[in-house]
Amino acid sequence: MSYKKATHVLPPELLEKVQKYVDGEFLYIPRVSDHKKDWGHSTTTRQELKERNAQIYEDYLSGQPMDVLAEKYFLSIKSIQRIIGQMKKNDKNGSTQF
């Protein structure tokens, strides 16, 4: 998200109307729903998490206990359980995506 100076993007008459409601404060204007991007669309985070979760599952299948995985990946045991459960579900369904 970036900030734009209102005097540079709004016509003076519209700026005056906005100032009646919000004078000298920050105002967040949400995106039009058609312009919203999916989470992780602009970064590599989604792919990195997918790879990390696959590695967690691989480690689990090779016999590493959940408490060791939690410590290794800096996650709670509950998060490890959730990831492993989702990966098991995907394995049963023949899905390769997380």
pLDDT-above-90 percentage for the chain = 63
Print the domain residue range for 73. 45-93
What is the average pLDDT score of the chain? 89
Q: How many Å apart are CA 82 and CA 57, to the nearest integer?
A: 11
Task: Confirm if 67 and 77 have CB atoms less than 8 A apart.
Answer: yes
User: How many domains does the chain fold into?
Assistant: 1
Question: Quick check: is 58 in a domain?
Answer: yes
Question: Mean pLDDT over residues 84-94, rounded?
Answer: 90
User: Computed from CA positions of residues 37, 40, 41, 46, in that sequence, does the dihedral angle turn out positive or negative?
Assistant: negative
Residues 87, 53 contacting (CB under 8 angstroms): yes
pLDDT at 9: 93
- Is residue 80 included in any domain, yes or no? yes
Residue-wise pLDDT for 34-78, tens only, equals: 666 676 677 888 899 999 999 999 999 999 999 999 999 999 999
Amino acid 4: pLDDT: 87
